[in-house]
Amino acid sequence: MAKEYGDNYRIETDSMGEVKVPIEKYWGAQTMRSLENFKIGWQMPDEIIKAFAILKSAAAKVNVQLGVLDAERAEAISKACAEIMEGKLEGNFPLVVFQTGSGTQTNMNVNEVVAGRANEILRSLASGNGDRTDKIPAAVQIHPNDHVNKSQSSNDTFPTAMHIASVKILEEALLPALDEIIDTFLELEGRYMDIVKVGRTHLQDAAPLTLGQEISGWRSALEHNYNMIESSMNGLRELALGGTAVGTGLNAPAEFDIAVAEEISQLTGYEFQTEENKFHGLTSKDALVFSHGALKALAANLMKIAGDVRLLASGPRCGIGEIFIPQNEPGSSIMPGKVNPTQCEAVTMVCVQVMGNDAAIGFAASQGHYQLNVFMPVIIDNYLKSVKLLAEAIHSFNRHCLVGLEPNVEKIKENLDKSLMLVTALNPHIGYDKSAEIAKKAYREGISLKEAAVDLDYVSAEDFDRWVDPKKMVNR
Protein backbone atom coordinates (compact mmCIF):
# COMPACT_ATOMS: atom_id res chain seq x y z
CA MET A 1 0.00 0.00 0.00
CA ALA A 2 1.20 3.52 -0.76
CA LYS A 3 0.49 6.95 0.62
CA GLU A 4 1.74 10.34 -0.54
CA TYR A 5 4.28 12.10 1.63
CA GLY A 6 5.70 15.45 0.62
CA ASP A 7 6.82 16.43 -2.87
CA ASN A 8 9.75 14.08 -3.40
CA TYR A 9 8.70 10.72 -2.08
CA ARG A 10 5.82 8.57 -1.01
CA ILE A 11 5.48 5.93 1.70
CA GLU A 12 5.16 2.29 0.62
CA THR A 13 4.45 -0.50 3.08
CA ASP A 14 5.21 -4.20 3.02
CA SER A 15 5.24 -6.98 5.60
CA MET A 16 8.24 -5.35 7.29
CA GLY A 17 6.78 -1.86 7.60
CA GLU A 18 7.03 1.51 5.86
CA VAL A 19 9.65 2.62 3.30
CA LYS A 20 10.20 5.94 1.54
CA VAL A 21 10.15 5.62 -2.27
CA PRO A 22 10.91 8.39 -4.83
CA ILE A 23 7.56 9.64 -5.99
CA GLU A 24 8.41 9.45 -9.70
CA LYS A 25 9.33 5.75 -9.58
CA TYR A 26 6.97 2.86 -10.06
CA TRP A 27 8.75 0.47 -7.75
CA GLY A 28 7.64 -0.32 -4.20
CA ALA A 29 8.96 -1.22 -0.78
CA GLN A 30 10.84 -4.42 -1.59
CA THR A 31 12.74 -2.81 -4.44
CA MET A 32 13.65 0.10 -2.19
CA ARG A 33 14.94 -2.19 0.55
CA SER A 34 17.17 -4.02 -1.91
CA LEU A 35 18.41 -0.75 -3.40
CA GLU A 36 19.42 0.47 0.05
CA ASN A 37 20.94 -2.81 1.26
CA PHE A 38 22.91 -3.93 -1.81
CA LYS A 39 25.17 -1.21 -3.15
CA ILE A 40 27.46 -3.74 -4.81
CA GLY A 41 28.65 -3.80 -8.40
CA TRP A 42 26.45 -3.13 -11.39
CA GLN A 43 22.81 -3.38 -12.40
CA MET A 44 20.98 -6.50 -13.49
CA PRO A 45 21.25 -6.91 -17.28
CA ASP A 46 18.45 -5.30 -19.26
CA GLU A 47 17.94 -8.59 -21.09
CA ILE A 48 16.78 -10.17 -17.83
CA ILE A 49 14.33 -7.35 -17.12
CA LYS A 50 12.79 -7.69 -20.57
CA ALA A 51 12.66 -11.47 -20.21
CA PHE A 52 10.76 -10.97 -16.96
CA ALA A 53 8.31 -8.71 -18.76
CA ILE A 54 7.73 -11.44 -21.33
CA LEU A 55 7.06 -14.11 -18.72
CA LYS A 56 4.87 -11.84 -16.56
CA SER A 57 2.72 -10.98 -19.57
CA ALA A 58 2.48 -14.63 -20.54
CA ALA A 59 1.58 -15.66 -17.00
CA ALA A 60 -1.17 -13.04 -16.79
CA LYS A 61 -2.76 -14.25 -20.03
CA VAL A 62 -2.61 -17.90 -18.97
CA ASN A 63 -3.98 -17.08 -15.52
CA VAL A 64 -7.03 -15.61 -17.22
CA GLN A 65 -7.43 -18.71 -19.38
CA LEU A 66 -7.26 -20.89 -16.26
CA GLY A 67 -9.76 -18.76 -14.35
CA VAL A 68 -7.49 -17.45 -11.57
CA LEU A 69 -7.13 -13.83 -12.75
CA ASP A 70 -9.66 -11.42 -14.25
CA ALA A 71 -9.19 -10.15 -17.78
CA GLU A 72 -9.11 -6.44 -16.83
CA ARG A 73 -6.12 -6.84 -14.53
CA ALA A 74 -4.38 -9.18 -16.98
CA GLU A 75 -4.75 -6.68 -19.82
CA ALA A 76 -3.27 -3.87 -17.73
CA ILE A 77 -0.41 -6.13 -16.64
CA SER A 78 0.31 -7.07 -20.26
CA LYS A 79 0.29 -3.42 -21.34
CA ALA A 80 2.76 -2.51 -18.61
CA CYS A 81 4.96 -5.45 -19.62
CA ALA A 82 4.85 -4.35 -23.25
CA GLU A 83 6.14 -0.94 -22.20
CA ILE A 84 9.03 -2.60 -20.38
CA MET A 85 9.86 -4.64 -23.47
CA GLU A 86 9.83 -1.45 -25.53
CA GLY A 87 12.19 0.28 -23.08
CA LYS A 88 9.63 2.86 -22.01
CA LEU A 89 10.08 2.29 -18.27
CA GLU A 90 13.86 2.59 -18.11
CA GLY A 91 15.14 3.92 -14.80
CA ASN A 92 12.77 1.75 -12.79
CA PHE A 93 15.05 -1.28 -12.53
CA PRO A 94 18.01 -0.18 -10.40
CA LEU A 95 18.84 -3.41 -8.58
CA VAL A 96 22.26 -4.99 -8.86
CA VAL A 97 23.48 -8.45 -9.83
CA PHE A 98 25.01 -9.07 -6.42
CA GLN A 99 21.83 -9.38 -4.39
CA THR A 100 19.95 -12.43 -3.17
CA GLY A 101 21.19 -15.44 -5.13
CA SER A 102 17.68 -16.47 -6.13
CA GLY A 103 17.04 -13.16 -7.89
CA THR A 104 13.97 -12.65 -5.68
CA GLN A 105 14.57 -8.92 -5.38
CA THR A 106 14.64 -8.45 -9.15
CA ASN A 107 11.48 -10.53 -9.49
CA MET A 108 9.81 -8.25 -6.94
CA ASN A 109 11.23 -5.15 -8.62
CA VAL A 110 9.51 -6.21 -11.84
CA ASN A 111 6.33 -7.16 -9.98
CA GLU A 112 6.18 -3.77 -8.26
CA VAL A 113 6.92 -1.75 -11.39
CA VAL A 114 4.39 -3.70 -13.43
CA ALA A 115 1.78 -3.28 -10.69
CA GLY A 116 2.47 0.43 -10.35
CA ARG A 117 2.25 1.11 -14.08
CA ALA A 118 -0.71 -1.27 -14.55
CA ASN A 119 -2.66 0.54 -11.82
CA GLU A 120 -1.93 3.81 -13.55
CA ILE A 121 -3.22 2.33 -16.81
CA LEU A 122 -6.41 1.20 -15.08
CA ARG A 123 -6.93 4.65 -13.56
CA SER A 124 -6.37 6.39 -16.88
CA LEU A 125 -8.85 4.08 -18.55
CA ALA A 126 -11.39 4.74 -15.82
CA SER A 127 -10.95 8.50 -16.04
CA GLY A 128 -10.56 8.68 -19.80
CA ASN A 129 -7.27 10.52 -19.32
CA GLY A 130 -4.27 8.71 -20.75
CA ASP A 131 -1.70 11.10 -19.30
CA ARG A 132 0.70 9.97 -16.59
CA THR A 133 -0.30 11.32 -13.18
CA ASP A 134 2.29 13.18 -11.12
CA LYS A 135 1.59 11.18 -8.00
CA ILE A 136 0.53 7.59 -7.50
CA PRO A 137 -2.59 7.35 -5.32
CA ALA A 138 -2.70 4.98 -2.41
CA ALA A 139 -5.43 2.71 -3.78
CA VAL A 140 -3.98 -0.44 -5.33
CA GLN A 141 -6.13 -2.38 -7.75
CA ILE A 142 -3.29 -4.64 -8.89
CA HIS A 143 -1.04 -6.15 -6.24
CA PRO A 144 2.57 -7.09 -7.13
CA ASN A 145 2.37 -10.45 -5.35
CA ASP A 146 -1.30 -11.39 -5.61
CA HIS A 147 -1.75 -10.50 -9.28
CA VAL A 148 1.52 -9.84 -11.17
CA ASN A 149 3.24 -12.78 -9.43
CA LYS A 150 0.13 -14.99 -9.63
CA SER A 151 0.96 -18.73 -10.02
CA GLN A 152 4.68 -17.92 -9.76
CA SER A 153 7.63 -17.80 -7.38
CA SER A 154 10.96 -16.03 -7.72
CA ASN A 155 12.46 -19.52 -7.67
CA ASP A 156 10.87 -20.47 -10.98
CA THR A 157 10.62 -17.04 -12.63
CA PHE A 158 14.30 -16.13 -12.39
CA PRO A 159 15.57 -19.35 -14.03
CA THR A 160 12.87 -18.91 -16.66
CA ALA A 161 14.01 -15.35 -17.36
CA MET A 162 17.58 -16.64 -17.61
CA HIS A 163 16.62 -19.10 -20.34
CA ILE A 164 14.43 -16.64 -22.25
CA ALA A 165 17.17 -14.00 -22.23
CA SER A 166 19.81 -16.52 -23.30
CA VAL A 167 17.85 -17.86 -26.26
CA LYS A 168 16.93 -14.36 -27.44
CA ILE A 169 20.45 -12.98 -27.32
CA LEU A 170 21.91 -16.03 -29.05
CA GLU A 171 19.31 -15.85 -31.81
CA GLU A 172 19.41 -12.09 -32.21
CA ALA A 173 23.07 -11.20 -31.65
CA LEU A 174 25.60 -14.04 -31.70
CA LEU A 175 24.30 -16.34 -34.43
CA PRO A 176 23.86 -13.44 -36.91
CA ALA A 177 27.42 -12.30 -36.15
CA LEU A 178 28.67 -15.82 -36.84
CA ASP A 179 26.75 -15.91 -40.12
CA GLU A 180 28.47 -12.68 -41.09
CA ILE A 181 32.02 -13.85 -40.43
CA ILE A 182 31.41 -17.28 -41.98
CA ASP A 183 30.22 -15.59 -45.17
CA THR A 184 33.41 -13.51 -45.25
CA PHE A 185 35.58 -16.60 -44.88
CA LEU A 186 33.64 -18.38 -47.62
CA GLU A 187 34.34 -15.50 -49.98
CA LEU A 188 38.02 -15.28 -49.03
CA GLU A 189 38.70 -19.01 -49.33
CA GLY A 190 37.17 -19.09 -52.80
CA ARG A 191 39.16 -16.05 -53.88
CA TYR A 192 42.50 -17.41 -52.63
CA MET A 193 42.09 -21.15 -53.24
CA ASP A 194 44.83 -21.25 -55.90
CA ILE A 195 47.54 -19.45 -53.91
CA VAL A 196 49.91 -22.19 -52.71
CA LYS A 197 51.83 -21.42 -49.54
CA VAL A 198 53.96 -23.16 -46.95
CA GLY A 199 52.12 -24.95 -44.18
CA ARG A 200 53.28 -24.83 -40.58
CA THR A 201 52.96 -27.31 -37.73
CA HIS A 202 54.65 -26.95 -34.33
CA LEU A 203 55.56 -23.43 -35.58
CA GLN A 204 57.90 -25.18 -38.04
CA ASP A 205 57.76 -25.43 -41.82
CA ALA A 206 55.44 -28.19 -43.04
CA ALA A 207 53.89 -29.47 -46.26
CA PRO A 208 52.22 -26.87 -48.48
CA LEU A 209 48.56 -25.98 -48.73
CA THR A 210 46.67 -23.11 -50.31
CA LEU A 211 45.72 -19.91 -48.57
CA GLY A 212 42.12 -20.75 -49.39
CA GLN A 213 42.46 -24.11 -47.68
CA GLU A 214 43.93 -22.44 -44.60
CA ILE A 215 41.01 -20.02 -44.48
CA SER A 216 38.56 -22.89 -45.02
CA GLY A 217 39.81 -24.36 -41.73
CA TRP A 218 38.88 -21.13 -39.97
CA ARG A 219 35.48 -21.11 -41.64
CA SER A 220 34.76 -24.73 -40.77
CA ALA A 221 35.74 -24.17 -37.14
CA LEU A 222 33.16 -21.41 -36.81
CA GLU A 223 30.51 -23.47 -38.58
CA HIS A 224 31.10 -26.21 -36.03
CA ASN A 225 30.78 -23.63 -33.25
CA TYR A 226 27.52 -22.40 -34.77
CA ASN A 227 26.13 -25.93 -34.68
CA MET A 228 27.36 -26.44 -31.10
CA ILE A 229 25.63 -23.28 -29.94
CA GLU A 230 22.40 -24.23 -31.71
CA SER A 231 22.52 -27.67 -30.12
CA SER A 232 23.14 -26.18 -26.69
CA MET A 233 19.96 -24.13 -27.00
CA ASN A 234 17.83 -27.25 -26.63
CA GLY A 235 18.34 -27.19 -22.87
CA LEU A 236 17.75 -23.44 -22.71
CA ARG A 237 14.34 -23.87 -24.32
CA GLU A 238 13.12 -25.76 -21.25
CA LEU A 239 11.44 -23.45 -18.73
CA ALA A 240 11.15 -23.89 -14.97
CA LEU A 241 8.03 -21.73 -14.76
CA GLY A 242 5.28 -23.65 -13.00
CA GLY A 243 7.58 -25.20 -10.42
CA THR A 244 6.98 -22.27 -8.04
CA ALA A 245 8.86 -22.45 -4.72
CA VAL A 246 10.55 -25.86 -4.64
CA GLY A 247 9.46 -27.58 -7.85
CA THR A 248 6.11 -28.97 -6.68
CA GLY A 249 4.04 -26.29 -8.40
CA LEU A 250 2.41 -25.13 -5.17
CA ASN A 251 -0.21 -22.38 -5.84
CA ALA A 252 0.00 -22.81 -9.62
CA PRO A 253 -3.09 -24.23 -11.35
CA ALA A 254 -2.91 -27.48 -13.29
CA GLU A 255 -1.52 -27.12 -16.84
CA PHE A 256 -0.19 -23.62 -16.06
CA ASP A 257 3.38 -24.67 -16.87
CA ILE A 258 2.54 -26.09 -20.30
CA ALA A 259 0.29 -23.21 -21.30
CA VAL A 260 2.69 -20.49 -20.15
CA ALA A 261 5.59 -22.01 -22.10
CA GLU A 262 3.39 -21.99 -25.21
CA GLU A 263 2.45 -18.36 -24.57
CA ILE A 264 6.11 -17.37 -24.13
CA SER A 265 6.85 -19.05 -27.46
CA GLN A 266 4.12 -16.96 -29.07
CA LEU A 267 5.38 -13.72 -27.53
CA THR A 268 9.04 -14.26 -28.44
CA GLY A 269 8.76 -16.12 -31.72
CA TYR A 270 11.16 -18.75 -30.37
CA GLU A 271 10.35 -22.29 -29.34
CA PHE A 272 10.09 -23.00 -25.61
CA GLN A 273 8.58 -25.86 -23.64
CA THR A 274 8.07 -26.60 -19.99
CA GLU A 275 10.82 -28.39 -18.08
CA GLU A 276 9.56 -31.90 -17.40
CA ASN A 277 11.18 -32.11 -13.96
CA LYS A 278 10.86 -28.79 -12.15
CA PHE A 279 13.05 -29.97 -9.26
CA HIS A 280 15.86 -30.13 -11.80
CA GLY A 281 14.82 -26.82 -13.36
CA LEU A 282 15.10 -24.92 -10.09
CA THR A 283 18.28 -26.33 -8.66
CA SER A 284 20.42 -27.24 -11.68
CA LYS A 285 21.94 -24.72 -14.05
CA ASP A 286 23.54 -27.36 -16.28
CA ALA A 287 21.84 -26.05 -19.43
CA LEU A 288 23.66 -22.74 -19.05
CA VAL A 289 26.93 -24.49 -18.21
CA PHE A 290 26.59 -26.63 -21.33
CA SER A 291 25.65 -23.68 -23.51
CA HIS A 292 28.48 -21.56 -22.19
CA GLY A 293 30.78 -24.49 -22.95
CA ALA A 294 29.84 -23.96 -26.59
CA LEU A 295 30.68 -20.27 -26.16
CA LYS A 296 34.04 -21.23 -24.68
CA ALA A 297 34.67 -23.49 -27.68
CA LEU A 298 33.90 -20.54 -29.92
CA ALA A 299 36.29 -18.39 -27.90
CA ALA A 300 39.00 -21.03 -28.29
CA ASN A 301 38.59 -21.08 -32.07
CA LEU A 302 38.47 -17.30 -32.30
CA MET A 303 41.67 -17.13 -30.26
CA LYS A 304 43.32 -19.50 -32.74
CA ILE A 305 42.02 -17.65 -35.81
CA ALA A 306 42.97 -14.20 -34.53
CA GLY A 307 46.38 -15.57 -33.55
CA ASP A 308 46.92 -16.99 -37.01
CA VAL A 309 45.95 -13.73 -38.68
CA ARG A 310 48.21 -11.78 -36.34
CA LEU A 311 51.21 -14.04 -37.01
CA LEU A 312 50.68 -14.29 -40.76
CA ALA A 313 50.46 -10.49 -40.94
CA SER A 314 53.53 -9.95 -38.75
CA GLY A 315 56.19 -7.65 -40.10
CA PRO A 316 56.06 -5.69 -42.27
CA ARG A 317 59.69 -6.57 -43.05
CA CYS A 318 60.95 -8.75 -40.21
CA GLY A 319 58.00 -11.05 -39.67
CA ILE A 320 56.17 -13.72 -41.67
CA GLY A 321 54.27 -11.12 -43.66
CA GLU A 322 52.26 -13.48 -45.87
CA ILE A 323 49.05 -11.47 -45.61
CA PHE A 324 48.11 -7.82 -45.41
CA ILE A 325 45.40 -6.64 -43.02
CA PRO A 326 43.85 -3.15 -42.88
CA GLN A 327 45.89 -0.43 -41.19
CA ASN A 328 43.23 1.25 -39.10
CA GLU A 329 45.14 3.47 -36.69
CA PRO A 330 48.69 4.34 -35.52
CA GLY A 331 50.18 1.61 -33.35
CA SER A 332 52.78 3.39 -31.26
CA SER A 333 53.18 6.61 -29.35
CA ILE A 334 56.96 6.53 -29.85
CA MET A 335 57.69 4.52 -33.02
CA PRO A 336 56.53 6.53 -36.08
CA GLY A 337 54.75 4.56 -38.81
CA LYS A 338 54.12 1.49 -36.68
CA VAL A 339 50.75 -0.22 -37.19
CA ASN A 340 49.52 -3.08 -35.01
CA PRO A 341 47.00 -5.92 -35.46
CA THR A 342 44.63 -4.27 -33.00
CA GLN A 343 41.45 -6.09 -34.06
CA CYS A 344 43.19 -9.41 -33.43
CA GLU A 345 44.24 -8.19 -29.99
CA ALA A 346 40.72 -7.07 -29.13
CA VAL A 347 39.28 -10.46 -30.14
CA THR A 348 41.82 -12.40 -28.12
CA MET A 349 41.16 -10.29 -25.02
CA VAL A 350 37.46 -11.04 -25.38
CA CYS A 351 38.29 -14.74 -25.62
CA VAL A 352 40.26 -14.55 -22.38
CA GLN A 353 37.31 -12.85 -20.67
CA VAL A 354 34.88 -15.49 -21.94
CA MET A 355 37.08 -18.26 -20.57
CA GLY A 356 37.15 -16.47 -17.22
CA ASN A 357 33.37 -16.13 -17.31
CA ASP A 358 33.13 -19.86 -17.96
CA ALA A 359 35.03 -20.61 -14.77
CA ALA A 360 32.67 -18.38 -12.76
CA ILE A 361 29.58 -19.97 -14.32
CA GLY A 362 30.80 -23.51 -13.76
CA PHE A 363 31.63 -22.92 -10.12
CA ALA A 364 28.38 -21.05 -9.45
CA ALA A 365 26.33 -23.79 -11.11
CA SER A 366 27.91 -26.40 -8.83
CA GLN A 367 26.31 -24.72 -5.81
CA GLY A 368 22.73 -25.90 -6.26
CA HIS A 369 22.06 -26.86 -2.66
CA TYR A 370 18.89 -28.87 -2.06
CA GLN A 371 15.98 -27.39 -4.04
CA LEU A 372 17.51 -24.13 -5.33
CA ASN A 373 20.66 -22.70 -6.81
CA VAL A 374 21.34 -19.32 -5.21
CA PHE A 375 24.06 -18.12 -7.59
CA MET A 376 21.70 -17.43 -10.48
CA PRO A 377 22.26 -13.68 -10.96
CA VAL A 378 26.02 -14.06 -11.33
CA ILE A 379 25.56 -17.00 -13.70
CA ILE A 380 23.31 -15.13 -16.10
CA ASP A 381 25.30 -11.91 -15.84
CA ASN A 382 28.47 -13.71 -16.95
CA TYR A 383 26.61 -15.67 -19.61
CA LEU A 384 25.06 -12.59 -21.20
CA LYS A 385 28.34 -10.70 -21.03
CA SER A 386 30.07 -13.52 -22.89
CA VAL A 387 27.45 -13.55 -25.65
CA LYS A 388 27.51 -9.78 -26.06
CA LEU A 389 31.29 -9.60 -26.07
CA LEU A 390 31.60 -12.41 -28.62
CA ALA A 391 28.96 -10.94 -30.91
CA GLU A 392 30.51 -7.46 -30.80
CA ALA A 393 34.06 -8.76 -31.20
CA ILE A 394 33.14 -10.97 -34.16
CA HIS A 395 31.38 -8.09 -35.90
CA SER A 396 34.32 -5.74 -35.31
CA PHE A 397 36.95 -8.33 -36.33
CA ASN A 398 35.06 -9.09 -39.50
CA ARG A 399 34.30 -5.50 -40.48
CA HIS A 400 37.60 -3.87 -39.58
CA CYS A 401 40.03 -6.68 -40.38
CA LEU A 402 38.91 -9.78 -42.24
CA VAL A 403 37.03 -8.19 -45.12
CA GLY A 404 40.25 -6.35 -46.00
CA LEU A 405 42.56 -9.39 -45.74
CA GLU A 406 44.80 -9.74 -48.81
CA PRO A 407 47.69 -12.05 -49.69
CA ASN A 408 51.28 -10.87 -50.00
CA VAL A 409 51.89 -13.01 -53.07
CA GLU A 410 55.61 -12.25 -53.36
CA LYS A 411 56.29 -13.14 -49.71
CA ILE A 412 54.18 -16.30 -49.94
CA LYS A 413 56.19 -17.46 -52.99
CA GLU A 414 59.50 -16.58 -51.33
CA ASN A 415 58.64 -18.59 -48.21
CA LEU A 416 57.33 -21.51 -50.25
CA ASP A 417 60.44 -21.67 -52.40
CA LYS A 418 62.64 -21.74 -49.29
CA SER A 419 60.64 -24.45 -47.54
CA LEU A 420 62.57 -27.67 -46.88
CA MET A 421 59.38 -29.62 -46.30
CA LEU A 422 58.65 -29.80 -50.02
CA VAL A 423 61.00 -32.76 -49.80
CA THR A 424 58.00 -34.71 -48.45
CA ALA A 425 56.92 -35.23 -52.07
CA LEU A 426 60.00 -37.43 -52.60
CA ASN A 427 59.03 -39.94 -49.88
CA PRO A 428 57.05 -42.27 -52.18
CA HIS A 429 59.91 -42.32 -54.70
CA ILE A 430 63.12 -42.58 -52.65
CA GLY A 431 61.92 -43.21 -49.09
CA TYR A 432 61.83 -41.23 -45.88
CA ASP A 433 65.51 -41.63 -44.91
CA LYS A 434 66.98 -40.38 -48.18
CA SER A 435 64.47 -37.54 -48.29
CA ALA A 436 65.49 -36.52 -44.76
CA GLU A 437 69.14 -36.60 -45.77
CA ILE A 438 68.39 -34.25 -48.67
CA ALA A 439 66.59 -31.81 -46.38
CA LYS A 440 69.39 -31.84 -43.80
CA LYS A 441 72.07 -31.28 -46.46
CA ALA A 442 70.14 -28.40 -48.00
CA TYR A 443 69.67 -26.75 -44.61
CA ARG A 444 73.23 -27.36 -43.46
CA GLU A 445 74.87 -26.07 -46.64
CA GLY A 446 72.36 -23.33 -47.43
CA ILE A 447 71.52 -24.75 -50.84
CA SER A 448 68.20 -25.67 -52.47
CA LEU A 449 66.52 -29.04 -52.11
CA LYS A 450 67.05 -29.69 -55.79
CA GLU A 451 70.75 -29.01 -55.53
CA ALA A 452 71.07 -31.28 -52.49
CA ALA A 453 69.10 -34.09 -54.15
CA VAL A 454 71.22 -33.99 -57.31
CA ASP A 455 74.47 -33.71 -55.34
CA LEU A 456 73.55 -36.84 -53.38
CA ASP A 457 72.62 -38.55 -56.65
CA TYR A 458 69.28 -39.68 -55.23
CA VAL A 459 67.20 -38.14 -58.04
CA SER A 460 67.83 -36.46 -61.34
CA ALA A 461 67.04 -32.82 -61.91
CA GLU A 462 64.23 -33.85 -64.26
CA ASP A 463 62.67 -36.24 -61.75
CA PHE A 464 62.91 -33.63 -58.99
CA ASP A 465 61.04 -31.07 -61.09
CA ARG A 466 58.39 -33.67 -61.96
CA TRP A 467 57.89 -34.97 -58.43
CA VAL A 468 58.37 -31.83 -56.32
CA ASP A 469 55.57 -29.56 -57.53
CA PRO A 470 53.83 -27.62 -54.72
CA LYS A 471 50.65 -27.31 -56.78
CA LYS A 472 50.36 -31.09 -56.90
CA MET A 473 50.92 -31.41 -53.15
CA VAL A 474 47.82 -29.61 -51.93
CA ASN A 475 45.40 -32.46 -52.86
CA ARG A 476 42.46 -30.31 -53.86
Supply φ then ψ for residue 2, to 5 degrees: -125, 150
Give residue 128's pLDDT: 64
Question: Does the CA dihedral 137-140-145-149 come out positive or negative?
Answer: negative
What span, in angstroms and rounded, lies between the C-alpha atoms of 275 and 285? 12
Number of H helices, E strands in the chain: 17, 9
Q: Summarize the confidence of residues 381-408 as an average pLDDT.
A: 98
- Are 323 and 411 contacting, i.e. CB atoms less than 8 angstroms apart? no
* Cis peptide preceding 94, ω within 30 of 0: no
What span, in angstroms and rounded, lies between the C-alpha atoms of 98 and 81? 24
Q: Do the strands 273-274 and 238-239 form a parallel or antiparallel pair, or are they unpaired? A: parallel
CB atoms within 10 A of CB 352: 11
What span, in angstroms and rounded, lies between the C-alpha atoms of 299 and 297? 5
Question: Does the CA dihedral 379-307-210-426 come out positive or negative?
Answer: negative
Supply φ then ψ for residue 360, to 5 degrees: -65, -45
pLDDT digit string, tens, across residues 46-68: 999 999 999 999 999 999 999 99
Is residue 166 part of the annotated active site? The answer reads: no
Residue in 127, 231, 332, 460 annotated catalytic: 332
Mean pLDDT of the chain: 95
Least Cα distance to 142 among 132, 150, 154, 151 occurs for 150
**pLDDT band at 129; cut points 50, 70, 90:** low
Is residue 143 part of the annotated active site? The answer reads: no
pLDDT digit string, tens, across residues 278-316: 999 999 999 999 999 999 999 999 999 999 999 999 999
Residue-wise burial string across 101-140, b where 16 or more C-beta atoms lie within 10 A, e elsewhere: bbbbbbbbbbbbbbbbbbbbbbbeeeeeeeeeeeebeeeb
Residue in 202, 216, 231, 284 annotated catalytic: 202
**pLDDT band at 333; cut points 50, 70, 90:** confident
Q: What DSSP character marks residue 245? A: T
Q: Summarize the confidence of residues 384-398 as an average pLDDT.
A: 98
Give residue 7's pLDDT: 67
Least Cα distance to 105 among 385, 363, 379, 374 occurs for 374
3-state secondary structure of 141: coil
Task: Give the angle 377-165-396 at the CA atoms, nearest 5°.
Answer: 100
- Are 43 and 94 contacting, i.e. CB atoms less than 8 angstroms apart? yes
pTM: 0.94
What domains, with CATH codes, occur in the chain? 2-150 (1.10.275.10), 155-409 (1.20.200.10), 419-472 (1.10.40.30)
Range with the lowest mean pLDDT among 119-128, 133-142, 321-330, 410-419? Answer: 133-142
What span, in angstroms and rounded, lies between the C-alpha atoms of 224 and 222? 5
Alpha carbon 186 to chain centroid distance?
A: 23
What span, in angstroms and rounded, lies between the C-alpha atoms of 216 and 197? 14
